[in-house]
């Protein structure tokens, strides 16, 4: 096997839908086309929303599609654990390291504080942190600690992070201007996605990260954390988003595109044929197996912008 390692890192907060399996197929093809191994990591940090039942179903849905993995999920492997809910000690170690290399400070802001009317909104709809708690004196922080458990935030520098994305081309983001100080650990003690994903990708030897374009704006933060921690930077590819005819991103609400509905009306090859067509890998949505696509996959043919899902596949026509 080549030194390439790809991964699929779903959150088991519901049954997969078309958008999830589109990303899964691209991640799998990208790794397999390079002769790489493939890891399935279950991102179940949000214990309120994630359910073991969904994790089981997503393994079953991936297997149904013909997407296999060398390690991860129930199968385990050399880099276990593969369930983020079991990885706390690794996140704690990363947090300690970051705290020694950057300013990590307690943040007492409530959700309402963060979404105050004048809070600057970022391109992805999230809010850039005002830096309010960065200026608390130790005495003020101590007083607030009596009433509220703080989140932990890391202060970012005024630094441009630039990376080359296999799908989007060169991407640049200024950390202070476009992102702001971000959370490493939530007030409920849970570790934040940005920290967990960096620690896990490095621990599992991941060399290529393929995921949905909605996470593009997270990548500069993750690259900055990798640099702080002295970790290698994987190659990135952010897949185009699947949208409806109205240009609005498909969501789990579209029941006809949930895996239960898709499996009821399509064979694995028929669904893969559609996904491969949407991904620019074949000129028509002819049935095909994932394995047959692996030998001819290339990012060059994947569309760079949102993809409208045809009515025929929506199942409404």
How many residues bind ligand GLU, per CB under 6 A?
7
215 makes contact with ligand GLU (CB under 6 A): yes
Q: Are 154 and 222 in contact (CB under 8 A)?
A: no
Pick 16 or 109: Cβ nearer ligand GLU: 16
> Cβ 312 to ligand GLU, closest distance in Å?
27
Structure-block tokens of residue 201: 């990708």
Give the β-pairing of 307-308 and 235-239: unpaired
Instruction: Show Cβ contacts of residue 110 under 8 Å, excluding neighbours closer than 6 positions.
Output: none
250 makes contact with ligand GLU (CB under 6 A): no
For residue 27, what is the enclosing H or E element? helix 18-33
CA-to-CA dists, residue 186 to 70, 128, 147, angstroms: 32, 16, 16
197 makes contact with ligand GLU (CB under 6 A): yes
Pick 43 or 61: Cβ nearer ligand GLU: 43
CA-to-CA dists, residue 14 to 33, 52, 55, 304, angstroms: 29, 10, 9, 27
Segment lying near ligand GLU (by CB under 6 A), choices 7-15, 71-79, 151-159, 182-190: 7-15
Structure-block tokens of residue 104: 């990590």
Segment lying near ligand GLU (by CB under 6 A), choices 9-17, 46-54, 166-174, 243-251: 9-17
> Cβ 41 to ligand GLU, closest distance in Å?
8
Count of alpha carbons within 13 angstroms of residue 258, beta-carbon side: 11
Segment lying near ligand GLU (by CB under 6 A), choices 5-13, 167-175, 180-188, 301-309: 5-13
DSSP letter for 149, please.
P
Segment lying near ligand GLU (by CB under 6 A), choices 6-14, 137-145, 167-175, 232-240: 6-14
Pick 205 or 315: Cβ nearer ligand GLU: 205
10 makes contact with ligand GLU (CB under 6 A): yes
By three-state DSSP, how is residue 291 classified? Answer: helix
15 makes contact with ligand GLU (CB under 6 A): no
> Cβ 243 to ligand GLU, closest distance in Å?
17
Within 10 Å of residue 179's Cβ, how many Cβ atoms? 22
Pick 178 or 201: Cβ nearer ligand GLU: 201
Q: Give the Cα-Cα-Cα angle 93, 222, 226 (nearest 5 degrees).
A: 55
By three-state DSSP, how is residue 22 classified? Answer: helix
**Per-residue string for binding with ligand GLU, 17-46, x by CB under 6 A?**
--------------------------x---
Pick 7 or 282: Cβ nearer ligand GLU: 7
Pick 50 or 156: Cβ nearer ligand GLU: 50
Q: Give the Cα-Cα-Cα angle 264, 265, 270 (nearest 5 degrees).
A: 120
Please give the span between the terminal C-alpha atoms of the chain, in angstroms, as a whole number: 44
Among 4, 5, 11, 107, binds ligand GLU (CB under 6 A): 11
- Written as one string, the DSSP assignment of 127-144 is B----GGGG--HHHHHHH
Segment lying near ligand GLU (by CB under 6 A), choices 8-16, 96-104, 270-278, 288-296: 8-16
- Residues making contact with ligand GLU (CB under 6 A): 9-11, 43, 197, 211, 215
């Amino acid at each position: 096997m080549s030194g390439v390692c790809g991964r699929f890192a779903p959150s088991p907060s519901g049954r997969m839908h078309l958008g999830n399996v589109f990303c899964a197929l691209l991640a799998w093809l990208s790794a397999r086309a390079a002769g790489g191994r493939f890891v399935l990591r279950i991102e179940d940090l949000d214990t309120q929303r994630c359910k073991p039942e969904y994790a089981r179903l997503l393994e079953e849905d991936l297997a149904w599609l013909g997407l296999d993995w060398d390690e991860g999920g129930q199968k385990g492997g050399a880099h276990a654990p593969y369930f983020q809910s079991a990885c706390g000690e690794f996140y704690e170690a990363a947090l300690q390291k970051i705290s020694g290399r950057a300013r990590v400070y307690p943040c007492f802001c409530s959700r309402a504080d963060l979404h105050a009317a004048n809070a600057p909104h970022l391109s992805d709809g999230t809010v850039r942190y005002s830096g309010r708690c960065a200026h608390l004196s130790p005495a003020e922080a101590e007083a607030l600690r009596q009433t509220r458990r703080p989140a932990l935030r890391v202060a970012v520098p005024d630094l441009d992070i630039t990376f080359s994305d296999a799908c989007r081309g060169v991407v640049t983001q200024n950390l202070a201007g476009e992102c702001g100080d971000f959370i490493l650990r939530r007030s409920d003690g849970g570790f934040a996605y940005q920290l967990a994903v960096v620690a896990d990708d490095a621990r599992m030897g991941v060399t290529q990260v393929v995921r949905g374009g909605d996470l593009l704006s997270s990548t500069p933060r993750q690259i900055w954390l990798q640099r702080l921690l002295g970790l290698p930077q994987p190659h990135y590819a952010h897949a185009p988003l699947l949208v409806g005819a109205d240009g609005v991103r498909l969501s789990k609400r579209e029941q006809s595109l949930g895996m239960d509905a898709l499996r009821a009306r399509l064979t694995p090859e028929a669904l893969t044929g559609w996904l491969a067509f949407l991904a620019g890998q074949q000129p028509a949505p002819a049935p095909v197996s994932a394995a047959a696509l692996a030998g001819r996959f290339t990012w060059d043919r994947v569309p760079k912008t949102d993809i409208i899902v045809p009515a025929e596949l929506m199942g409404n026509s």
